[in-house]
Amino acid sequence: MIERCLEGGCQCGSVRYRITGSPVLAALCHCTMCRRANAAPAVAWAMYEQSQVAFLNEVPTVYASSPGAHRGFCARCGTQISFTADYIPGLIDITIGSLDEPSQVSPTLHYWVSERLPWLHFSDGLPRHPEFPPTDG
């Protein structure tokens, strides 16, 4: 059996990555920090073990958006790529929007809906968590 592989990268191609296997979690985040960093009303994230993700060219430039939390982006074109944090050791979030085939990873829940923009509505029927979801699933 061949393990599932996904690739993605930034808009200019400087940052490219390859992911092996399935995500630990895929979700839509409505928090103000993701919104600002991505300049988007909500951000879709796929969370992986760091060992599942290999960067092929440039590694993302990192910005500490809050203590212990790091957002990785392409220094050349600005595409947001990743999120890592002390409170999720060994894990890395990858922006689903940076995948070559973003339709291959479907979010299964929403989190930080307490900060959702009032004009943003999804009719997907997925579970909604006011803040960060329970980390056991």
Of the candidates 5, 12, 56, 117, which one interacts with Zn ion according to CB under 5 A? 12
- In the set 34, 92, 94, 113, which binds Zn ion (CB under 5 A)? 34
- According to the binding rule CB under 5 A, does residue 44 interact with Zn ion? no
76 forms part of the interface with Zn ion (CB under 5 A): yes
Q: What is the DSSP letter of 132?
A: S
15 vs 9, 25, 63, 64, 109, CA distance in Å? 5, 23, 15, 19, 27
Q: Give 51 or 117: the residue with its C-beta nearer to Zn ion.
A: 117
Nearer to Zn ion, 52 or 79 (CB): 79
Count of C-beta atoms within a 10 Å radius of residue 106: 13
DSSP secondary structure, 104-123, as one string = GS---EEE-GGG--TT----
29 near Zn ion, judged by CB under 5 A: yes
Q: How far is the CB of 2 from Zn ion (least distance, A)?
A: 29
Site residues, Zn ion (CB under 5 A): 10, 12, 14, 29, 31, 34, 74, 76-77
